Amino acid sequence: MTGRNVYILLTDTGTLFTRLIKLYTKKPYNHASISFDSMLTEVYSFGRKVEWNPFIGGFVKEDIRKGLFKQADCAIYSLKVNEEQLQKMNDYIEELKTQREEYRYNLFGLLGFLFNKPIQRSKAFFCSQFVATLLKECNVLDIEKSPALIAPNDLQKMPKCQFVYEGKLRKYHNETEQVSVCLIPVKM
């Protein structure tokens, strides 16, 4: 398949909220985001709108260089998409951006996840539900399970996901930034 890669970013920021989730899941990463470039400059998810309050959440463009992500551990996976899928994904994100204030974090959905009962609310997602819905709705992956029952660790096991990196997020970003600087053509 020709096309471009999109990236699934799984993180552990070490906050109290993620530590509580980790107690239940027993998995190393409890937040999922999606990026449209290997430098992770365009990273989208459903998460905190206010860094210090995990209960004020919704659709967010995340800056992995700041805040909770500065010390985060991560795993990064890539997925090859064709131009049509990429366009659908971009359109989906643009629609979310224009209606950003109408979207909420699906805290009830997280409770449903705990009891294996999908709770889908209009214009509300939790992080991995958002990523799974985006991939499903844009025909990138055929996901049989309800997106409301997808955990971040389920995303890394999806068919077509290719492992890219695991470790400190800031280290990945620094290494990627150095590689991209080296690839800039020099005029003589």
Domain boundaries along the sequence of the chain: 4-182
Distance from C-alpha of 20 to C-alpha of 110, rounded to nearest angstrom = 12
Which contacts qualify for 55-61: CB closer than 8 Å, 24 or more apart? 55/105, 55/107, 57/104, 57/105, 57/107, 58/100, 58/101, 58/103, 58/104, 58/105, 59/96, 59/97, 59/100, 59/103, 59/125, 59/130
How many CA atoms are closer than 13 Å to the CA of 187, on its beta-carbon side?
0
- Tens of pLDDT along the chain (188 residues) come to 568 999 999 999 988 878 888 888 889 999 999 999 999 999 999 998 888 777 789 999 999 998 889 899 999 999 999 999 999 999 999 999 999 999 999 999 988 998 999 998 999 999 999 999 999 999 999 999 999 999 999 999 998 999 999 999 999 977 765 544 334 444 43
Answer for the pair 181, 160: CB distance below 8 angstroms, yes or no.
no
Q: Which fold has domain 4-182?
A: endopeptidase fold (from Nostoc punctiforme) (3.90.1720)
